[in-house]
Amino acid sequence: MRIEMIAFIGICLGPMFLLADIWRQIKKINQVLDEIIEGETDRRIIIRKYSFLSDTCYKLNQIMMANKERIIQTRRLERRNEKLMTNLSHDIRTPLTSIIGHLDAVHYQYVHGEMNAESVRQAREKAYVLKDYLDDLFQWFKLNSKEERAEMEPLDIVEETRAVFANWVAAFERSGISYDFASGMDEIQTSIDRVFYGRIVNNLLKNAMEHSGASKIWIEIAQTGIMVVVKVCDDGMGIPEKEIPFVFDRLYKADDARSSKGSGLGLAIVRELVLIQGGKILVEPQKKGICFVMEFPILENKK
């Protein structure tokens, strides 16, 4: 009888002890969650491996780790946006102030004759600088918000690249820059967005011409397996090796010489345009200068 009584008491007390243990665990979990709410994002719930609530705590820890990563990304994005707005304010105000100054000089007749024409010319030049900056900015916002959609079509990438390159020949010659265009094949069919691809090549050539200090700019095209490789190269100052991982970051400007001109968005736009067409892009340092290397899948010949 005594043994049965002890067994009965054990059966009754067992659930009570279990409930008490679960209650202590819940209090511990709530304490950690309160600390996290107060800003201690590094806190984690530590509990016995085979506890009744161990699986729940594991999932809570996963949620908290993911939440912490989102907070880090949000803060990083906020810092980048603050930098973007600071640059935006400066980069728009500077040419705009110059435009107003030159036009005021003409309007109030502070300048005459040749100086009048020079003021108009400089105002026009600054207006185009401002337009290019705003074009880059709007392009970036559209890409960043995923509004841009590539309209892919079968195209001969050799001919498309040659056509874009030909439009720069006059500018190269005016600047005393030698140039070359080389392709291992007369035709390579791939699926790309004609407009986007034109923007990519134009941005890379503009970047080389305005920022590299190059005496030569050239393009090489080759087929490697199932990929077409397009290289836009120059023999200019190059980019420091430590800076290469950040070349495609938004607002990247390698040095004071580069930061004196341009929005800092051009290469970020290039990367996004390449990616949405299913390609990839990287930087390939040279002994002198640098190459931007793009790869796109070729279209298989179906017979």
What residue spans of the chain are helical by DSSP H? Answer: 2-37, 54-107, 113-144, 157-166, 169-174, 194-211, 256-259, 266-275
Q: Give pLDDT, residue 66.
A: 80
Distance in angstroms (rounded) separating the CA atoms of residues 251 and 269: 10
Whether the predicted pLDDT of 194 surpasses 90: yes
* Least reliable range by pLDDT among 19-33, 151-165, 269-283: 19-33
Q: Give pLDDT, residue 5.
A: 58
Q: Taking Cα atoms as reference points, which of 251, 167, 252 lies closest to residue 206? A: 167
Q: Give pLDDT, residue 179.
A: 94
Domains of the chain: 1-147 (no CATH), 153-297 (3.30.565.10)
Q: Give pLDDT, residue 12.
A: 55
Whether the predicted pLDDT of 255 surpasses 50: no
- Given a contact cutoff of 8 angstroms between Cβ atoms, the answer to whether 218 and 233 are in contact is yes
Whether the predicted pLDDT of 260 surpasses 70: no
Distance in angstroms (rounded) separating the CA atoms of residues 188 and 221: 9
pTM of the model: 0.65
95 pLDDT tier (thresholds 50, 70, 90): confident
Please, which residues have CB within 8 angstroms of residue 282's CB and are 6 or more apart in sequence? 292, 293
Distance in angstroms (rounded) separating the CA atoms of residues 175 and 236: 14
Q: Give pLDDT, residue 278.
A: 92
108-144 pLDDT, tens digit each: 888 888 888 888 888 998 898 888 778 877 777 777 7
Whether the predicted pLDDT of 186 surpasses 80: yes
157-184 pLDDT, tens digit each: 999 999 999 999 999 999 999 999 999 8
71 or 178: which carries more pLDDT confidence? 178
24-33 pLDDT, tens digit each: 777 777 777 7
Q: How would you class 33 by CB atoms within 10 Å of its CB: exposed for 0-12, middle for 13-18, buried for 19 or more?
A: middle
269 pLDDT tier (thresholds 50, 70, 90): confident
Average confidence (pLDDT) over 189-201: 93
Q: Give pLDDT, residue 259.
A: 42
Q: Give pLDDT, residue 19.
A: 64
Q: How would you class 88 by CB atoms within 10 Å of its CB: exposed for 0-12, middle for 13-18, buried for 19 or more?
A: middle
Q: Give pLDDT, residue 6.
A: 55
CB atoms within 10 A of CB 7: 10
Whether the predicted pLDDT of 294 surpasses 90: yes
Share above pLDDT 90 across residues of the chain, in percent, rounded to a whole number? 31
C-alpha distances in Å from residue 257, one per residue of 172, 173, 213, 237 = 20, 23, 10, 11
Q: How many residues does the chain have?
A: 303
Please name the residue that has the structure tokens 């279209």: 299
Give residue 178's identity as a one-letter amino acid code.
Answer: S
